[in-house]
Amino acid sequence: MTTARALPSLTIKGMRMPVPIIQGGMGIGVSLAPLAGAVARAGGLGTLSSAALDRLVSQRVGSALGTYAAVREELSAAKAGGGFVGINIMVALQRDYEASVRGALDEGAHAIVSGAGLPLSLPTMKPRGDTALIPIVSSARALSLICRRWEREHSRPDAVVLEGPLAGGHLGFRMDQVDLEENRLERLLPPVKAVAQAHGDFPVIVAGGIHTNADIRRFLALGADGVQLGTRFLVTEESSASPAYKQAVLRATPADVLVADDPGSPCGLPFRVLRESPMYQSALARRRTPKCDKGYVLLRDERGRYTRCPARQDNEHSFCICNGLLGSAGIGSEEEPLYTAGAGVWRVDRILPVRELMAELAGT
């Protein structure tokens, strides 16, 4: 009997992870301390999502916390069992972005992973200390822009996540770009790797459509230093997704997952969603009245304040992503849930504890 060769380790800014796997930071309320902590203990990088942590943590501890304090509280809980823990902070959540970054740095997050927009100002907010700063990009052009801007601040990424069009949630492509052959993850990797090598040779982590040990080995052979997975961790026992959400994932077929644009996310970015999501169906039928009362996804008004949200005015062209995702985590049960997952969700057939999933992915 042949023993499978172990995957190589992954080192980012001096942190050596035994397994080259980053768990995707899925918001709202999926990637919390139970999931991130379990991944960290199993040898990967566990990742929280900062989205709506003020609401989620306040509900759990029974007292009102702001974003800064909530980020510190959740990171502390996730780090308690050892291993490496990071936090995903979306640029699109501008209202809470700086408070989330400061909280993460002050609590000693091992990494800040930041996408859904270009994190051009990330190195300027506060000295990073030992925290790795990891942007998410979908092209070599975007990474080159980030590197040039960060170098003005005498900084550079400690790693980069390259996210292809098969990922779940918000995508870094226009609708007419999602299915182009040139945007396959295999095609995007070489030029992104070249930019990373030209700016300090930092690790490149690939994401989007990766589900198995064979997938991981294929991309490592193509030059990736590690991988990021979301959907497989979504249906672990430690995931904070609601039971209904997990069952929707297990039922999904290839025809059940689509990229929503109209109706779509109020961010304006294409958003991969499960067709059966109750909120998506209501938005599609134009039968849901506006109820944007959370305000996490806000755009600037004419005076530069974060007050505008397309889902607040009407639901003709967007769904209320804050309420929908809170509903999918079982928070705010009066709201219709919105389910998102990667394009290969139909490959997932069971719920596993994190330790078993990590062993399966590592081939051990």
Inform me whether the pLDDT recorded for 178 exceeds 60.
Answer: yes
Inform me whether the pLDDT recorded for 3 exceeds 60.
Answer: no
Residue whose pair of structure tokens reads 């042949």 in the numeric block: 2
CA angle 265, 245, 247 (to 5 degrees): 140
- 29-88 residue pLDDT tens: 899 999 999 999 999 999 999 998 998 999 888 899 999 999 999 999 999 999 999 999
- What tokens appear for 101 in the block? 């970054």
Closest-CA residue to 24 (of 199, 214, 180, 236): 236
The Cα–Cα gap between 270 and 175 comes to 6
The answer to whether residues 45 and 140 touch, using CB atoms and an 8 Å cutoff, is: no
Rounded to whole angstroms, what are the CA distances from 40 to 79, 203, 211, 322?
A: 8, 19, 19, 27
Q: Alpha helix locations (H) across the chain?
A: 33-41, 53-61, 67-79, 94-106, 140-151, 185-198, 213-221, 231-234, 243-251, 278-284, 310-313, 321-328, 354-362
Average pLDDT, integer, range 12-32: 94
- 291-310 residue pLDDT tens: 677 767 777 777 777 777 77
| Lowest mean pLDDT, pick from 124-138, 206-220, 314-328 | 314-328
Task: Give the start-to-end residue ranges of the domains of the chain.
Answer: 15-240+348-362, 243-328
pTM more than 0.85:
yes
- % residues pLDDT > 90 (the chain): 66
Per DSSP, the chain holds a count of helices (H) and strands (E) of 13, 15
Residue 195, helix vs strand vs coil: helix
The Cα–Cα gap between 35 and 234 comes to 9
Inform me whether the pLDDT recorded for 1 exceeds 90.
Answer: no
The domain 15-240+348-362 having CATH identifier 3.20.20.70: the answer here is yes
Closest-CA residue to 96 (of 67, 59, 118): 67
